[in-house]
Structure 1
Amino acid sequence: MSPATITSAVLDVVDDWSQPLLTHYDHASGERTELSAATLGNWAAKSANFFVDELGLGAGDEILVDLPEHWQTAAILLGAWWAGTRVHLSDVDHGSLQAVVTSADRIDHHGDVDEVLVASLDPFAMGVRDLPAGITDFATAVRVHGDQYRPGPAPTGPVLDDATTDEVVRDAAAAAGAGISAGARVVTTRGWHTAADVTANLLAPLIAGASLVTVAHADDTRLDALAATERATVVLR
């Protein structure tokens, strides 16, 4: 049976909700944040509840996620798909968008979108201070929402650029191939800047049932030690 959403495809293969599902490193900032499947699922649910209850978004609505690789980005993407929205990763006609989630330094790129939401990209999801009027601090806004989510009807149209849920899941499975399987521990430095990147480098390991360690601003001289510490079975550079 096809999954109802991309988020379902990620979470339905989880065996142990207490184990790490996504670990995020940033070699530039020194961040290391580890999220269990339960914690990542809770943040995705908060995001979905926010999108649906506060913004009134659902199937057919379009949002742009203009963010770098980060655990918050993963949670926002999963929440957006759970809510049924169509996600874009690169700039599109702003007239088609109901909302954009971006970083504080890119607000000016999206001034003509009705709902501009800023993700702090803070390791502890602290909020962003001193935002301009009319700009929503995403981390603060989602905290008040429930950490469980009951999805509505499965979207039938595109959910990631022009691809449907079934197409994304199929492409993710193909990208995982035989090298990434359930129970694997995958360290990756690969980016998430396009729909193809998100499918191959974020979703493929998760939908295969692996746990993922992402490394932003990777220092290649430290990567082997990091992979050993994380007990990685696969390293993707």
Structure 2
Amino acid sequence: MPQTPAGILSTMRSVSPSSPRLVWHGQDGRIELSGRVFDNWVAKSSNLLVDELDATETSRIALDLPPHWKSLALAFACWQVGALVVLPEEAGSPPDADIVLSSRPDPGTAPSGQLVCVALGSLALGWDGPLPRGAVDFAAEVRSHGDVYQGRSVDGDAPLLRAGGRTLLARDLLDSVTLPADPGDTDGRTLLLEPGAGLERALAAALAVWAQGGVLVLVEDGLPVTDRLLTGERVTGRLGTA
């Protein structure tokens, strides 16, 4: 069973790669990503981080982003290149980092590093509005990068996340999530993370669900979780916001 981001991505590429792994319900509609498609987004993002932003295993990359399918792809890209993901201590206040990935309408200037503006619209082809001087437009640049990441594998015990004054490993994030009991005792469950969860919770949920071969459903904060949605996605369990 894969217990690290690298293991999860390897499984997505090799085991039922056309099966859904992540479903997003947002203001702009529903997006379903298979294992292959998610892995492609991670690879493209990884190549952008390395080729354009010089990300390395010593980089600290701030994710000033809400829970979103692009946020998960970017986090896995950071981990694929060996970088440490750093979460803001307070909303709207990006931490000091080598690279800051932000979706805020007015991201301002990165405290000390490179700013990357991330448009969250699923079909967005570029940043909506003036791009701060020197910033990189994620949506405009990422599609030009390769679908395969050729970098070397990163140590599975490397720290993944800095949040709330803590540095967390994969096992710490996995231990923070208790998956609902599965009456059928089978893999491949579809679990929904309740809207309103923070990004740390979403990342931990993704690791836990995908480590067991399941499907994660994310719903944008403010959208209702209806019976129709639960039935349509065949949700078998729900994860709380904390």
Q: 1:104 to 1:73 in 2, by over 3 A?
A: same
Q: 1:159 to 1:219 in 2, by over 3 A?
A: closer
The question of whether the paired residues in 1 share the 8 Å contact of 2:22 and 2:216 is answered with yes
Distance 1:93 1:18 in 2: 36
Distance 2:8 2:69 in 1: 15
Distance 1:210 1:121 in 2: 24
Counting only pairs closer than 5 Å after superposition, residues 119-158 of structure 1 correspond to structure 2 as 119-129=118-128, 130-155=130-155, 157-158=158-159
1:137-167 CA distance string (max 9 Å, x none): 1111211110111342424542211123444
Q: 1:157 to 1:13 in 2, by over 3 A?
A: closer
> 1:9: Cα distance to partner?
3.1
**Runs of 4+ off more than 6 Å:** none
The residue aligned with 1:25 is 25
Distance 2:117 2:77 in 1: 15
The question of whether the paired residues in 1 share the 8 Å contact of 2:189 and 2:236 is answered with yes
> 1:177: Cα distance to partner?
6.4
Distance 1:151 1:207 in 2: 22
The question of whether the paired residues in 1 share the 8 Å contact of 2:179 and 2:239 is answered with no
Distance 1:104 1:61 in 2: 22
Distance 1:73 1:213 in 2: 14
Q: 1:199 to 1:73 in 2, by over 3 A?
A: closer
> 1:134: Cα distance to partner?
1.1
> 1:219: Cα distance to partner?
4.0
Distance 2:175 2:214 in 1: 16
Q: 1:57 to 1:200 in 2, by over 3 A?
A: closer
Distance 2:197 2:112 in 1: 23
Normalising by the residue count of structure 2, what TM-score does the alignment of the two structures yield?
0.82
Normalising by the residue count of structure 1, what TM-score does the alignment of the two structures yield?
0.84
Q: Which amino acid aligns with 1:204?
A: A
Task: Determine if the alignment matches structure 1 residue 185 to structure 2 residue 190.
Answer: yes
How many residue pairs match? The answer is: 227
Counting only pairs closer than 5 Å after superposition, residues 82-93 of structure 1 correspond to structure 2 as 82-91=80-89
Runs of 5+ consecutive residues of structure 1 not aligned to the other structure: none
The question of whether the paired residues in 2 share the 8 Å contact of 1:2 and 1:166 is answered with no
Distance 2:16 2:238 in 1: 23
**Greater percentage in helix:** 1
The residue aligned with 1:43 is 41
Distance 1:123 1:177 in 2: 29
Give the 3-state SS of the residue equivalent to 2:67 in structure 1: coil
Runs of 5+ consecutive residues of structure 2 not aligned to the other structure: none
The question of whether the paired residues in 2 share the 8 Å contact of 1:7 and 1:79 is answered with no
1:8-29 CA distance string (max 9 Å, x none): 2322343211111111002xx2
1:36-77 CA distance string (max 9 Å, x none): 111111000011111112212121210100111211111111
Distance 2:67 2:94 in 1: 23
Distance 2:88 2:197 in 1: 10
> 1:178: Cα distance to partner?
4.3
